[in-house]
Chain A
Amino acid sequence: MRVILAEDSTLLREGLVRLLAEEGHEVLAAVGEAESLLKAVAENPPDVVVADVRMPPTHTDEGLRAALEIRERWPRVGVLVLSQYVEKRYATELLTGETEGVGYLLKDRVVQVDEFLDALERVADGRAAFDPEVVRQLLGRTSHTDLLARLTARERAVLAEMAQGHTNAAIARRLHISQSGVEKHINAIFDKLELSGGEGYSRRVLAVLRYLGS
Protein backbone atom coordinates (compact mmCIF):
# COMPACT_ATOMS: atom_id res chain seq x y z
CA MET A 1 0.00 0.00 0.00
CA ARG A 2 1.01 3.58 -0.54
CA VAL A 3 0.52 5.58 2.63
CA ILE A 4 0.75 9.24 3.70
CA LEU A 5 1.17 9.94 7.41
CA ALA A 6 0.23 13.09 9.27
CA GLU A 7 1.21 13.12 12.93
CA ASP A 8 2.74 16.01 14.86
CA SER A 9 4.64 13.96 17.38
CA THR A 10 7.99 13.25 15.74
CA LEU A 11 8.50 10.20 17.89
CA LEU A 12 5.29 8.56 16.83
CA ARG A 13 5.65 9.60 13.20
CA GLU A 14 9.08 8.02 12.95
CA GLY A 15 7.79 4.88 14.65
CA LEU A 16 4.90 4.58 12.21
CA VAL A 17 7.15 5.13 9.21
CA ARG A 18 9.48 2.35 10.38
CA LEU A 19 6.60 0.02 11.15
CA LEU A 20 4.98 0.50 7.76
CA ALA A 21 8.30 0.13 5.97
CA GLU A 22 8.96 -3.12 7.81
CA GLU A 23 5.55 -4.38 6.74
CA GLY A 24 6.44 -3.65 3.14
CA HIS A 25 4.21 -0.61 2.64
CA GLU A 26 5.40 2.47 0.85
CA VAL A 27 5.29 5.72 2.84
CA LEU A 28 4.98 8.50 0.28
CA ALA A 29 5.18 11.31 2.82
CA ALA A 30 5.20 11.81 6.59
CA VAL A 31 4.18 15.31 7.66
CA GLY A 32 3.52 17.16 10.90
CA GLU A 33 0.58 19.39 10.07
CA ALA A 34 -2.64 19.52 8.07
CA GLU A 35 -1.52 22.02 5.43
CA SER A 36 1.38 19.82 4.30
CA LEU A 37 -0.88 16.77 4.39
CA LEU A 38 -3.26 18.24 1.83
CA LYS A 39 -0.33 19.31 -0.30
CA ALA A 40 1.22 15.84 -0.19
CA VAL A 41 -2.08 14.15 -1.11
CA ALA A 42 -2.64 16.57 -3.99
CA GLU A 43 0.84 15.87 -5.34
CA ASN A 44 0.61 12.13 -5.14
CA PRO A 45 -2.68 10.56 -3.99
CA PRO A 46 -1.97 7.46 -1.86
CA ASP A 47 -4.15 4.46 -1.14
CA VAL A 48 -4.63 5.54 2.42
CA VAL A 49 -3.97 8.52 4.69
CA VAL A 50 -3.31 8.18 8.42
CA ALA A 51 -4.01 11.47 10.20
CA ASP A 52 -3.92 12.59 13.81
CA VAL A 53 -7.02 14.59 14.81
CA ARG A 54 -5.09 17.14 16.83
CA MET A 55 -2.37 18.95 14.93
CA PRO A 56 -0.71 22.36 14.97
CA PRO A 57 -1.33 25.24 15.02
CA THR A 58 -4.34 25.06 17.36
CA HIS A 59 -4.22 21.38 18.34
CA THR A 60 -8.00 21.06 18.10
CA ASP A 61 -9.29 19.27 15.01
CA GLU A 62 -7.11 20.34 12.06
CA GLY A 63 -6.34 16.73 11.24
CA LEU A 64 -10.02 15.83 11.13
CA ARG A 65 -10.85 18.83 8.93
CA ALA A 66 -8.09 17.77 6.54
CA ALA A 67 -9.37 14.17 6.56
CA LEU A 68 -12.90 15.31 5.68
CA GLU A 69 -11.52 17.46 2.88
CA ILE A 70 -9.55 14.51 1.51
CA ARG A 71 -12.72 12.38 1.62
CA GLU A 72 -14.45 15.04 -0.44
CA ARG A 73 -11.74 15.80 -2.99
CA TRP A 74 -10.19 12.36 -3.39
CA PRO A 75 -12.98 9.84 -2.66
CA ARG A 76 -10.74 6.95 -3.66
CA VAL A 77 -8.23 7.67 -0.90
CA GLY A 78 -8.94 5.82 2.33
CA VAL A 79 -8.73 7.89 5.51
CA LEU A 80 -7.78 6.52 8.91
CA VAL A 81 -8.09 9.07 11.69
CA LEU A 82 -6.20 8.64 14.94
CA SER A 83 -7.59 10.33 18.00
CA GLN A 84 -6.33 10.84 21.51
CA TYR A 85 -9.81 10.28 22.95
CA VAL A 86 -13.09 8.99 21.70
CA GLU A 87 -14.73 12.15 20.44
CA LYS A 88 -18.26 11.30 19.55
CA ARG A 89 -18.54 14.50 17.56
CA TYR A 90 -15.61 13.56 15.33
CA ALA A 91 -16.80 10.01 14.86
CA THR A 92 -20.23 11.28 13.87
CA GLU A 93 -18.73 13.77 11.42
CA LEU A 94 -16.74 11.01 9.76
CA LEU A 95 -19.89 8.92 9.51
CA THR A 96 -21.94 11.48 7.66
CA GLY A 97 -21.90 11.47 3.90
CA GLU A 98 -20.31 8.81 1.74
CA THR A 99 -18.10 6.97 4.19
CA GLU A 100 -16.55 3.99 2.55
CA GLY A 101 -12.86 3.70 3.30
CA VAL A 102 -13.03 5.52 6.59
CA GLY A 103 -11.53 4.56 9.91
CA TYR A 104 -11.44 6.05 13.36
CA LEU A 105 -8.97 4.59 15.83
CA LEU A 106 -7.72 5.59 19.21
CA LYS A 107 -4.09 6.56 19.01
CA ASP A 108 -3.12 4.00 21.59
CA ARG A 109 -4.47 1.29 19.31
CA VAL A 110 -1.28 1.72 17.29
CA VAL A 111 0.37 -0.26 20.06
CA GLN A 112 -1.70 -3.27 18.96
CA VAL A 113 0.34 -3.46 15.79
CA ASP A 114 -1.71 -6.29 14.27
CA GLU A 115 -5.00 -4.53 14.82
CA PHE A 116 -3.63 -1.28 13.49
CA LEU A 117 -2.30 -2.86 10.31
CA ASP A 118 -5.56 -4.74 9.88
CA ALA A 119 -7.57 -1.53 10.22
CA LEU A 120 -5.26 0.23 7.78
CA GLU A 121 -5.80 -2.48 5.19
CA ARG A 122 -9.55 -2.43 5.60
CA VAL A 123 -9.66 1.32 5.11
CA ALA A 124 -7.38 1.14 2.09
CA ASP A 125 -9.72 -1.45 0.56
CA GLY A 126 -12.67 0.89 0.92
CA ARG A 127 -14.09 -0.79 4.00
CA ALA A 128 -14.52 0.68 7.47
CA ALA A 129 -12.50 0.39 10.66
CA PHE A 130 -13.82 1.70 13.90
CA ASP A 131 -12.13 1.40 17.23
CA PRO A 132 -13.87 -1.05 19.58
CA GLU A 133 -13.83 1.72 22.17
CA VAL A 134 -15.57 4.14 19.80
CA VAL A 135 -18.19 1.55 19.03
CA ARG A 136 -18.64 0.76 22.70
CA GLN A 137 -19.26 4.41 23.48
CA LEU A 138 -21.60 4.90 20.56
CA LEU A 139 -23.51 1.81 21.60
CA GLY A 140 -23.59 3.01 25.18
CA ARG A 141 -24.66 6.54 24.44
CA THR A 142 -27.19 5.98 21.75
CA SER A 143 -30.63 7.43 22.09
CA HIS A 144 -32.07 4.14 20.87
CA THR A 145 -31.30 2.13 23.98
CA ASP A 146 -34.87 0.89 24.02
CA LEU A 147 -34.26 -0.84 20.70
CA LEU A 148 -30.78 -1.99 21.72
CA ALA A 149 -32.21 -3.47 24.86
CA ARG A 150 -33.99 -6.03 22.70
CA LEU A 151 -30.67 -7.52 21.60
CA THR A 152 -29.23 -10.57 23.27
CA ALA A 153 -25.66 -10.42 24.61
CA ARG A 154 -24.45 -12.46 21.63
CA GLU A 155 -26.22 -10.22 19.13
CA ARG A 156 -24.74 -7.20 20.84
CA ALA A 157 -21.25 -8.65 20.47
CA VAL A 158 -21.90 -9.33 16.79
CA LEU A 159 -23.17 -5.78 16.32
CA ALA A 160 -20.06 -4.35 17.95
CA GLU A 161 -17.80 -6.45 15.72
CA MET A 162 -19.82 -5.49 12.68
CA ALA A 163 -19.70 -1.84 13.52
CA GLN A 164 -15.92 -2.01 13.62
CA GLY A 165 -16.03 -2.98 9.98
CA HIS A 166 -15.30 -6.67 10.19
CA THR A 167 -16.60 -9.04 7.56
CA ASN A 168 -18.89 -11.92 8.48
CA ALA A 169 -16.01 -14.35 8.10
CA ALA A 170 -13.86 -12.30 10.44
CA ILE A 171 -16.66 -11.99 12.97
CA ALA A 172 -17.20 -15.73 12.87
CA ARG A 173 -13.47 -16.22 13.52
CA ARG A 174 -13.30 -13.67 16.29
CA LEU A 175 -16.39 -14.86 18.13
CA HIS A 176 -15.70 -18.54 17.48
CA ILE A 177 -19.05 -19.22 15.79
CA SER A 178 -19.97 -20.42 12.32
CA GLN A 179 -20.43 -17.97 9.49
CA SER A 180 -24.06 -18.98 9.03
CA GLY A 181 -24.53 -18.31 12.76
CA VAL A 182 -23.18 -14.82 12.23
CA GLU A 183 -25.55 -14.21 9.33
CA LYS A 184 -28.46 -15.40 11.45
CA HIS A 185 -27.48 -12.99 14.24
CA ILE A 186 -27.11 -10.14 11.81
CA ASN A 187 -30.54 -10.67 10.34
CA ALA A 188 -31.98 -10.77 13.85
CA ILE A 189 -30.17 -7.54 14.69
CA PHE A 190 -31.50 -5.76 11.63
CA ASP A 191 -34.99 -6.93 12.43
CA LYS A 192 -34.76 -5.79 16.02
CA LEU A 193 -33.20 -2.43 15.16
CA GLU A 194 -35.75 -1.97 12.39
CA LEU A 195 -33.05 -1.51 9.76
CA SER A 196 -33.69 -2.67 6.25
CA GLY A 197 -30.72 -4.76 5.16
CA GLY A 198 -28.63 -2.94 2.53
CA GLU A 199 -26.17 -4.13 -0.05
CA GLY A 200 -22.62 -5.01 0.93
CA TYR A 201 -20.90 -5.03 4.29
CA SER A 202 -19.59 -1.57 4.80
CA ARG A 203 -22.89 -0.01 3.89
CA ARG A 204 -24.65 -2.12 6.42
CA VAL A 205 -22.00 -1.31 8.97
CA LEU A 206 -22.34 2.36 8.28
CA ALA A 207 -26.10 2.16 8.42
CA VAL A 208 -25.78 0.64 11.87
CA LEU A 209 -23.16 3.12 12.97
CA ARG A 210 -25.05 6.07 11.63
CA TYR A 211 -28.11 4.82 13.37
CA LEU A 212 -26.21 4.46 16.62
CA GLY A 213 -24.42 7.76 16.32
CA SER A 214 -27.51 9.78 15.47
Chain B
Amino acid sequence: MRDMARRGVRCGVGLMTGAAAAAIELPFAVLAGAALLPVAAWPAGRRAVLRPVLVCARRLAELERARLRIWLGVRVPPPHEDLRALRYVAGRWALGLLGGVVMLSAAIGLGYGLFWLYGWILLDGIRDPGSIALSSFGGFFLLFLAVQGIFGVAGLEGQWARQCFGPRHQEELERRIAELSASRAAVVDAVHDERRRIERDLHDGVQQRLVALGMLLGRARRSQDAARRDRLLGQAHEESRRALDELREVAWRIYPTTLDEAGLRAALETVAERASVPVRVEYHLTEEPERAVATVAYFVVCEAVTNAVKHAAPSRIIVAVGGAEEGMVHVAVQDDGCGGANASGSGLFGLARRVAALDGVLTVISPPGGPTVVSAELPCA
Protein backbone atom coordinates (compact mmCIF):
# COMPACT_ATOMS: atom_id res chain seq x y z
CA MET B 1 0.00 0.00 0.00
CA ARG B 2 2.81 2.38 0.90
CA ASP B 3 4.65 1.45 -2.27
CA MET B 4 1.51 2.02 -4.24
CA ALA B 5 1.11 5.47 -2.69
CA ARG B 6 4.74 6.31 -3.34
CA ARG B 7 4.45 5.21 -6.92
CA GLY B 8 1.26 7.21 -7.33
CA VAL B 9 2.92 10.35 -6.02
CA ARG B 10 5.96 9.87 -8.30
CA CYS B 11 3.73 9.32 -11.30
CA GLY B 12 1.71 12.38 -10.32
CA VAL B 13 4.83 14.52 -10.26
CA GLY B 14 5.87 12.94 -13.55
CA LEU B 15 2.54 13.84 -15.11
CA MET B 16 2.79 17.42 -13.88
CA THR B 17 6.29 17.84 -15.27
CA GLY B 18 5.01 16.14 -18.41
CA ALA B 19 2.21 18.68 -18.66
CA ALA B 20 4.75 21.47 -18.24
CA ALA B 21 6.86 19.87 -20.99
CA ALA B 22 3.80 19.71 -23.22
CA ALA B 23 3.59 23.47 -22.93
CA ILE B 24 6.94 23.56 -24.77
CA GLU B 25 6.33 20.60 -27.07
CA LEU B 26 3.01 21.77 -28.45
CA PRO B 27 4.34 25.12 -29.71
CA PHE B 28 7.43 23.33 -30.98
CA ALA B 29 5.32 20.82 -32.90
CA VAL B 30 3.14 23.56 -34.34
CA LEU B 31 6.12 25.70 -35.35
CA ALA B 32 7.99 22.74 -36.82
CA GLY B 33 4.91 21.75 -38.80
CA ALA B 34 4.44 25.30 -40.03
CA ALA B 35 8.09 25.54 -41.07
CA LEU B 36 8.06 22.19 -42.86
CA LEU B 37 4.79 22.73 -44.71
CA PRO B 38 6.07 25.24 -47.33
CA VAL B 39 9.22 23.19 -48.11
CA ALA B 40 7.59 19.76 -48.07
CA ALA B 41 7.96 19.32 -51.85
CA TRP B 42 11.47 20.76 -52.09
CA PRO B 43 14.06 18.23 -50.84
CA ALA B 44 16.99 20.62 -50.35
CA GLY B 45 14.85 23.10 -48.46
CA ARG B 46 13.27 20.31 -46.47
CA ARG B 47 16.68 19.11 -45.37
CA ALA B 48 17.75 22.62 -44.39
CA VAL B 49 14.66 23.13 -42.25
CA LEU B 50 14.73 19.62 -40.83
CA ARG B 51 18.25 19.89 -39.49
CA PRO B 52 17.63 22.40 -36.64
CA VAL B 53 14.19 20.91 -36.03
CA LEU B 54 15.71 17.46 -35.55
CA VAL B 55 18.40 18.79 -33.22
CA CYS B 56 15.71 20.37 -31.01
CA ALA B 57 13.58 17.24 -31.20
CA ARG B 58 16.49 15.10 -30.06
CA ARG B 59 17.18 17.41 -27.10
CA LEU B 60 13.52 17.36 -26.08
CA ALA B 61 13.42 13.59 -26.47
CA GLU B 62 16.48 13.29 -24.22
CA LEU B 63 14.81 15.42 -21.53
CA GLU B 64 11.70 13.29 -21.86
CA ARG B 65 13.75 10.10 -21.45
CA ALA B 66 15.21 11.47 -18.24
CA ARG B 67 11.74 12.43 -16.98
CA LEU B 68 10.32 9.00 -17.83
CA ARG B 69 13.22 7.30 -16.07
CA ILE B 70 13.13 9.41 -12.91
CA TRP B 71 9.42 9.81 -12.29
CA LEU B 72 7.63 7.08 -14.20
CA GLY B 73 10.23 4.34 -13.90
CA VAL B 74 10.17 3.74 -17.66
CA ARG B 75 13.54 2.94 -19.23
CA VAL B 76 13.77 3.26 -23.00
CA PRO B 77 16.82 3.17 -25.24
CA PRO B 78 17.87 6.44 -26.88
CA PRO B 79 16.01 7.09 -30.14
CA HIS B 80 17.44 5.20 -33.09
CA GLU B 81 17.23 8.18 -35.38
CA ASP B 82 16.33 11.82 -35.11
CA LEU B 83 13.17 11.44 -37.15
CA ARG B 84 11.82 9.09 -34.52
CA ALA B 85 12.58 11.65 -31.83
CA LEU B 86 10.61 14.18 -33.85
CA ARG B 87 7.71 11.80 -34.20
CA TYR B 88 7.76 11.17 -30.46
CA VAL B 89 7.77 14.85 -29.56
CA ALA B 90 5.06 15.61 -32.12
CA GLY B 91 2.75 13.07 -30.49
CA ARG B 92 3.81 13.43 -26.88
CA TRP B 93 2.23 16.81 -26.17
CA ALA B 94 -1.23 15.22 -26.36
CA LEU B 95 -0.30 12.83 -23.58
CA GLY B 96 1.15 15.76 -21.64
CA LEU B 97 -2.16 17.61 -21.85
CA LEU B 98 -4.07 14.48 -20.89
CA GLY B 99 -1.78 14.09 -17.90
CA GLY B 100 -2.45 17.70 -17.00
CA VAL B 101 -6.22 17.14 -17.19
CA VAL B 102 -5.93 14.03 -15.02
CA MET B 103 -3.89 15.90 -12.41
CA LEU B 104 -6.45 18.71 -12.47
CA SER B 105 -9.23 16.16 -11.94
CA ALA B 106 -7.31 14.74 -9.03
CA ALA B 107 -7.00 18.20 -7.51
CA ILE B 108 -10.72 18.94 -8.03
CA GLY B 109 -11.69 15.56 -6.60
CA LEU B 110 -9.51 16.18 -3.58
CA GLY B 111 -11.00 19.63 -3.16
CA TYR B 112 -14.59 18.40 -3.26
CA GLY B 113 -13.75 15.40 -1.12
CA LEU B 114 -12.44 17.71 1.59
CA PHE B 115 -15.45 20.04 1.27
CA TRP B 116 -17.07 18.69 4.45
CA LEU B 117 -13.90 19.46 6.36
CA TYR B 118 -14.08 23.05 5.20
CA GLY B 119 -17.74 23.25 6.17
CA TRP B 120 -17.12 21.70 9.52
CA ILE B 121 -14.27 23.97 10.47
CA LEU B 122 -15.25 27.27 8.95
CA LEU B 123 -19.01 27.36 8.78
CA ASP B 124 -21.20 27.70 11.85
CA GLY B 125 -24.36 26.07 10.78
CA ILE B 126 -24.60 23.65 7.96
CA ARG B 127 -27.81 24.07 6.12
CA ASP B 128 -27.66 21.17 3.83
CA PRO B 129 -25.53 18.36 5.24
CA GLY B 130 -26.80 15.91 2.63
CA SER B 131 -25.43 17.85 -0.31
CA ILE B 132 -22.10 18.29 1.45
CA ALA B 133 -21.85 14.58 2.07
CA LEU B 134 -22.84 13.90 -1.50
CA SER B 135 -20.29 16.29 -2.97
CA SER B 136 -17.62 14.87 -0.65
CA PHE B 137 -18.45 11.40 -1.83
CA GLY B 138 -18.45 12.58 -5.45
CA GLY B 139 -15.12 14.33 -4.88
CA PHE B 140 -13.52 11.22 -3.44
CA PHE B 141 -14.89 9.14 -6.26
CA LEU B 142 -13.42 11.59 -8.78
CA LEU B 143 -10.11 11.45 -6.89
CA PHE B 144 -10.17 7.67 -7.13
CA LEU B 145 -10.81 7.81 -10.88
CA ALA B 146 -8.10 10.43 -11.33
CA VAL B 147 -5.56 8.28 -9.49
CA GLN B 148 -6.47 5.42 -11.82
CA GLY B 149 -5.99 7.91 -14.63
CA ILE B 150 -2.52 8.81 -13.34
CA PHE B 151 -1.42 5.20 -13.62
CA GLY B 152 -3.16 4.88 -16.95
CA VAL B 153 -1.47 7.93 -18.44
CA ALA B 154 1.90 6.82 -17.03
CA GLY B 155 1.37 3.52 -18.83
CA LEU B 156 0.47 5.31 -22.05
CA GLU B 157 3.58 7.48 -21.75
CA GLY B 158 5.74 4.39 -21.48
CA GLN B 159 4.02 2.76 -24.42
CA TRP B 160 4.41 5.76 -26.67
CA ALA B 161 8.10 6.10 -25.77
CA ARG B 162 8.76 2.43 -26.39
CA GLN B 163 6.92 2.52 -29.67
CA CYS B 164 8.97 5.49 -30.87
CA PHE B 165 12.37 4.72 -29.38
CA GLY B 166 12.56 0.99 -29.09
CA PRO B 167 13.86 -0.76 -32.20
CA ARG B 168 11.13 -2.52 -34.07
CA HIS B 169 11.28 -6.28 -34.22
CA GLN B 170 12.16 -6.19 -37.90
CA GLU B 171 14.99 -3.73 -37.28
CA GLU B 172 16.24 -5.79 -34.40
CA LEU B 173 16.40 -8.84 -36.65
CA GLU B 174 18.11 -6.92 -39.44
CA ARG B 175 20.69 -5.56 -37.04
CA ARG B 176 21.36 -9.02 -35.67
CA ILE B 177 21.71 -10.47 -39.16
CA ALA B 178 24.15 -7.72 -40.13
CA GLU B 179 26.12 -8.40 -36.98
CA LEU B 180 26.23 -12.12 -37.66
CA SER B 181 27.27 -11.66 -41.28
CA ALA B 182 30.06 -9.35 -40.21
CA SER B 183 31.30 -11.70 -37.52
CA ARG B 184 31.03 -14.68 -39.84
CA ALA B 185 33.15 -12.92 -42.44
CA ALA B 186 35.56 -12.00 -39.67
CA VAL B 187 35.84 -15.62 -38.59
CA VAL B 188 36.59 -16.70 -42.13
CA ASP B 189 39.27 -14.01 -42.32
CA ALA B 190 40.67 -14.98 -38.96
CA VAL B 191 40.92 -18.62 -40.02
CA HIS B 192 42.59 -17.55 -43.23
CA ASP B 193 45.14 -15.45 -41.33
CA GLU B 194 45.72 -18.33 -38.98
CA ARG B 195 46.44 -20.68 -41.83
CA ARG B 196 48.81 -18.25 -43.41
CA ARG B 197 50.62 -17.93 -40.11
CA ILE B 198 50.87 -21.70 -39.75
CA GLU B 199 52.22 -22.00 -43.28
CA ARG B 200 54.83 -19.34 -42.54
CA ASP B 201 55.70 -20.97 -39.24
CA LEU B 202 56.27 -24.28 -40.96
CA HIS B 203 58.28 -22.79 -43.78
CA ASP B 204 60.35 -20.21 -42.07
CA GLY B 205 61.01 -22.37 -39.07
CA VAL B 206 60.72 -26.11 -39.39
CA GLN B 207 61.45 -26.50 -43.07
CA GLN B 208 64.52 -24.26 -43.00
CA ARG B 209 65.89 -26.24 -40.08
CA LEU B 210 65.32 -29.52 -41.86
CA VAL B 211 66.97 -28.23 -45.02
CA ALA B 212 69.92 -27.00 -42.96
CA LEU B 213 70.06 -30.40 -41.30
CA GLY B 214 70.04 -32.14 -44.67
CA MET B 215 72.82 -29.89 -45.88
CA LEU B 216 74.94 -30.64 -42.86
CA LEU B 217 74.48 -34.35 -43.47
CA GLY B 218 75.21 -33.91 -47.17
CA ARG B 219 78.39 -32.01 -46.37
CA ALA B 220 79.40 -34.68 -43.85
CA ARG B 221 78.95 -37.38 -46.48
CA ARG B 222 81.09 -35.52 -48.99
CA SER B 223 83.79 -34.75 -46.45
CA GLN B 224 87.02 -36.68 -46.86
CA ASP B 225 88.36 -35.66 -43.48
CA ALA B 226 87.12 -37.82 -40.57
CA ALA B 227 87.51 -35.10 -37.95
CA ARG B 228 85.49 -32.64 -39.98
CA ARG B 229 82.89 -35.28 -40.71
CA ASP B 230 82.45 -35.88 -36.98
CA ARG B 231 82.10 -32.18 -36.34
CA LEU B 232 79.47 -31.83 -39.08
CA LEU B 233 77.57 -34.85 -37.75
CA GLY B 234 77.60 -33.32 -34.29
CA GLN B 235 76.20 -30.09 -35.71
CA ALA B 236 73.59 -32.07 -37.63
CA HIS B 237 72.57 -33.88 -34.46
CA GLU B 238 72.17 -30.56 -32.67
CA GLU B 239 70.21 -29.18 -35.62
CA SER B 240 67.82 -32.14 -35.57
CA ARG B 241 67.08 -31.42 -31.92
CA ARG B 242 66.37 -27.79 -32.77
CA ALA B 243 64.11 -28.81 -35.65
CA LEU B 244 62.12 -30.98 -33.23
CA ASP B 245 61.82 -28.14 -30.75
CA GLU B 246 60.65 -25.86 -33.52
CA LEU B 247 58.10 -28.41 -34.64
CA ARG B 248 56.79 -28.78 -31.11
CA GLU B 249 56.48 -24.99 -30.84
CA VAL B 250 54.55 -24.75 -34.09
CA ALA B 251 52.23 -27.61 -33.16
CA TRP B 252 51.62 -25.96 -29.80
CA ARG B 253 50.83 -22.64 -31.45
CA ILE B 254 48.37 -24.32 -33.79
CA TYR B 255 46.46 -26.03 -31.01
CA PRO B 256 47.36 -26.58 -27.39
CA THR B 257 46.32 -30.15 -26.70
CA THR B 258 46.53 -29.46 -22.97
CA LEU B 259 43.31 -27.52 -23.39
CA ASP B 260 41.43 -30.71 -24.23
CA GLU B 261 43.27 -32.95 -21.85
CA ALA B 262 43.58 -30.87 -18.72
CA GLY B 263 41.33 -27.87 -19.25
CA LEU B 264 41.75 -24.12 -19.49
CA ARG B 265 43.46 -23.65 -16.16
CA ALA B 266 46.25 -26.07 -16.95
CA ALA B 267 46.71 -24.63 -20.43
CA LEU B 268 47.01 -21.11 -19.02
CA GLU B 269 49.50 -22.28 -16.43
CA THR B 270 51.53 -23.78 -19.25
CA VAL B 271 51.48 -20.41 -21.00
CA ALA B 272 52.70 -18.83 -17.77
CA GLU B 273 55.52 -21.36 -17.43
CA ARG B 274 56.64 -20.87 -21.01
CA ALA B 275 56.76 -17.10 -20.85
CA SER B 276 60.11 -15.44 -20.31
CA VAL B 277 58.51 -12.93 -17.92
CA PRO B 278 56.90 -13.86 -14.56
CA VAL B 279 53.21 -14.47 -15.19
CA ARG B 280 50.69 -14.88 -12.37
CA VAL B 281 47.46 -16.70 -13.21
CA GLU B 282 44.41 -15.87 -11.07
CA TYR B 283 41.81 -18.42 -12.04
CA HIS B 284 38.38 -18.01 -10.44
CA LEU B 285 36.11 -20.12 -12.61
CA THR B 286 34.34 -22.84 -10.68
CA GLU B 287 33.62 -24.99 -13.69
CA GLU B 288 35.30 -25.58 -17.04
CA PRO B 289 33.79 -23.31 -19.72
CA GLU B 290 32.59 -24.89 -22.94
CA ARG B 291 35.25 -25.66 -25.48
CA ALA B 292 34.69 -22.75 -27.88
CA VAL B 293 34.85 -20.25 -25.03
CA ALA B 294 37.86 -21.94 -23.45
CA THR B 295 39.72 -21.93 -26.77
CA VAL B 296 39.12 -18.25 -27.41
CA ALA B 297 39.97 -17.37 -23.80
CA TYR B 298 43.19 -19.33 -24.17
CA PHE B 299 44.15 -17.56 -27.39
CA VAL B 300 43.36 -14.16 -25.90
CA VAL B 301 45.75 -14.87 -23.03
CA CYS B 302 48.35 -16.43 -25.28
CA GLU B 303 48.38 -13.59 -27.79
CA ALA B 304 48.26 -10.88 -25.13
CA VAL B 305 51.15 -12.41 -23.18
CA THR B 306 53.19 -12.93 -26.35
CA ASN B 307 52.52 -9.34 -27.42
CA ALA B 308 53.44 -7.97 -24.00
CA VAL B 309 56.69 -9.91 -23.85
CA LYS B 310 57.56 -8.98 -27.43
CA HIS B 311 56.72 -5.28 -27.40
CA ALA B 312 56.28 -3.88 -23.90
CA ALA B 313 59.25 -5.19 -21.89
CA PRO B 314 57.15 -5.81 -18.74
CA SER B 315 58.53 -7.01 -15.43
CA ARG B 316 55.42 -9.03 -14.62
CA ILE B 317 52.11 -10.02 -16.17
CA ILE B 318 48.86 -10.85 -14.37
CA VAL B 319 46.30 -13.07 -16.04
CA ALA B 320 42.86 -13.05 -14.42
CA VAL B 321 40.04 -15.35 -15.47
CA GLY B 322 36.68 -15.24 -13.75
CA GLY B 323 32.94 -15.17 -14.17
CA ALA B 324 32.29 -11.44 -14.33
CA GLU B 325 28.59 -12.18 -13.94
CA GLU B 326 26.20 -14.99 -14.61
CA GLY B 327 26.81 -16.53 -18.03
CA MET B 328 29.96 -14.54 -18.81
CA VAL B 329 33.62 -15.45 -18.72
CA HIS B 330 35.86 -12.50 -18.10
CA VAL B 331 39.52 -12.68 -19.15
CA ALA B 332 42.02 -9.93 -18.41
CA VAL B 333 45.75 -9.76 -19.09
CA GLN B 334 47.57 -6.90 -17.44
CA ASP B 335 51.22 -6.03 -17.84
CA ASP B 336 53.30 -3.23 -16.38
CA GLY B 337 55.17 -2.63 -19.62
CA CYS B 338 55.53 0.52 -21.68
CA GLY B 339 51.99 0.51 -23.09
CA GLY B 340 51.00 2.06 -26.38
CA ALA B 341 49.65 -1.20 -27.81
CA ASN B 342 47.91 -0.80 -31.14
CA ALA B 343 44.48 -2.41 -30.97
CA SER B 344 44.17 -2.34 -34.75
CA GLY B 345 47.45 -4.20 -35.18
CA SER B 346 47.10 -7.57 -36.85
CA GLY B 347 47.44 -9.75 -33.74
CA LEU B 348 45.00 -7.87 -31.54
CA PHE B 349 42.66 -7.26 -34.45
CA GLY B 350 42.56 -10.97 -35.19
CA LEU B 351 41.81 -11.61 -31.52
CA ALA B 352 39.01 -9.07 -31.55
CA ARG B 353 37.50 -10.90 -34.50
CA ARG B 354 37.71 -14.23 -32.75
CA VAL B 355 36.07 -12.79 -29.67
CA ALA B 356 33.38 -11.06 -31.71
CA ALA B 357 32.55 -14.37 -33.35
CA LEU B 358 31.35 -15.56 -29.95
CA ASP B 359 29.41 -12.31 -29.41
CA GLY B 360 32.04 -11.23 -26.95
CA VAL B 361 33.84 -7.93 -26.59
CA LEU B 362 37.59 -7.37 -26.56
CA THR B 363 38.90 -4.16 -25.05
CA VAL B 364 42.47 -2.94 -25.12
CA ILE B 365 43.48 -0.17 -22.74
CA SER B 366 47.07 0.80 -23.31
CA PRO B 367 48.11 4.37 -22.56
CA PRO B 368 51.69 5.29 -23.48
CA GLY B 369 53.79 4.41 -20.46
CA GLY B 370 51.46 1.57 -19.54
CA PRO B 371 50.00 -0.36 -17.90
CA THR B 372 48.29 -2.31 -20.67
CA VAL B 373 45.11 -4.26 -20.01
CA VAL B 374 43.70 -6.56 -22.65
CA SER B 375 40.35 -7.92 -21.54
CA ALA B 376 37.62 -10.00 -23.10
CA GLU B 377 34.03 -10.63 -22.06
CA LEU B 378 32.85 -13.93 -23.46
CA PRO B 379 29.22 -14.97 -23.15
CA CYS B 380 28.63 -18.64 -22.43
CA ALA B 381 25.64 -19.92 -24.31
Contacts and interface: CB of A to CB of B under 8 A. Distances in A.
A59 B207 CA distance: 16
Contacts, number: 48
Contacts of A111: 210-211, 214-215, 217-218
Interface in A167-181: none
B204 A9 contact: yes
Contact of A110 (B203, B211, B222, B223): B211
B215 A113 contact: yes
A15 B222 contact: no
Given A9-B204, A84-B203, A15 B221 contact: no
A22 B208 CA distance: 20
A188 interface: no
Given A9-B208, A113-B222, A114-B222, A15 B215 contact: yes
The binding surface of chain A is classed by DSSP as: helix
B212 to A, nearest CB: 5
Contact of A11 (B212, B218, B223): B212
B272 interface: no
Contacts of B221: 113
B214 A108 contact: yes
A113 B212 contact: no
Nearest to B216: A15
A112 B207 CA distance: 15
A114 B215 CA distance: 10
B212 A22 contact: no
Contacts of A12: 208, 211-212, 215
Interface string A89-113: 0000000000000000001101111
B48 to A, nearest CB: 50
10 contacts: A9-B208, A12-B212, A15-B216, A19-B215, A22-B222, A108-B214, A111-B215, A111-B217, A112-B214, A114-B218
Given A9-B204, A12-B208, A108-B214, 11 more contacts: A11-B209, A12-B212, A12-B215, A18-B219, A19-B218, A22-B219, A59-B200, A107-B207, A111-B215, A111-B218, A113-B218
Interface of B: 200, 203-204, 207-212, 214-219, 221-223
